[in-house]
Amino acid sequence: MKKIISLILFTFIINVSINGQKQIDSTFNEAIKKRVQIEVGHLTEKISQMADKNTPINIRKRIKTEALKLFVEEGKAYYDEDVYKEGVTMETTSLYRKKPISRLMRDYFDGVINYKYSTVVISSTKYIYIEVSDLKAVEKNHYVCTACWEQEFRGYIDGKPVYGDLTRKNVKVHIYMIKTSTGKDNIIIKLGDVKAVETKKL
């Protein structure tokens, strides 16, 4: 009996030591996941806007500036779980390439703005349907989750469709808890690397 009690106590202490931070209850978890959907929705909308050649290029460049603010360190160098990274990255795929290519987000956005097609239409899953995983603790006051959506890309030259694909993408989302002077936990959500999971022809 004493052994069982000691084991239970030991497990409890270890559990508290490892987690050592706010336990996320399901209501809180769901509330943050809904907010993550909105943030990822902002990203997918801005990618569509940057590709839209009907919008003046100076506005599209301005949208790029605002889009980068959605990401950790605005797309610049940062530490991801103690690993140094040159910046947040976007994986892109093509029907004509086997392996995906990873580019710095700011370079990817430049590419979107300057696509060689005469018209580009990019549309994505509506934000309320973006899938978001449960939060996972990585270090003190820092959680991560993954959000998934599908992106449809259509390229036209002089009105004729020349390319179309459907890509499933996911993004690592960082959630930071900031303790306020009143003891409340305020939340900052920032997007991380985006991966391309699968690409199909349209």
Partner 1 sequence: MRRFISLSLLFITLSINAQVIHWITFIDTTDPEVGECDRTGRSVLYGHFINIANDVLEKRGFKPHVQDYHGSHMTPNSCKTAVEELQCNSDDIVVFYYIGHGTHGLGDRDSFPQMALGSTDEKMFIPLRWVHNQLKAKNPALLVTIGMCCNSFDRASAKEGPLFNIDYGNGYYTETEKKAIQELFLNYRGDIIMTSARPGQKSYACSTQFGFMDLFTAVLVHNFEIGAAEGKLDWLSFLSNIQYGVHEIRKNEKNKKKQQTPYFEHNIISTDTTNTSYSSDYKLLQESLANLLNIQLPYENRLLQYDNILAMFSPNAVVHVLDGIIELDYEASEYFGNLATSNINIPQKVNLKSIKKSGILITELTVEEVY
Binding site for partner 1 (CB under 8 A): 27-28, 31-32, 34-35, 38, 41-42, 45-46, 49, 55-56, 59, 62-63, 65-66, 69-70, 127, 178, 184, 186-189
Between 64 and 199, name the residue whose CB sits nearer to partner 1. Answer: 64
Between 11 and 65, name the residue whose CB sits nearer to partner 1. Answer: 65
Smallest separation, CB 163 to partner 1 (Å): 24
d(CA 171, CA 145): 8
Quote the tokens at residue 201. Answer: 């022809």
Smallest separation, CB 183 to partner 1 (Å): 12
The total number of residues shown for the chain amounts to 202
d(CA 33, CA 25): 12
Between 134 and 198, name the residue whose CB sits nearer to partner 1. Answer: 134
Smallest separation, CB 21 to partner 1 (Å): 16
* Cα-based angle 153, 94, 91 (whole degrees, multiple of 5): 90
d(CA 164, CA 156): 9
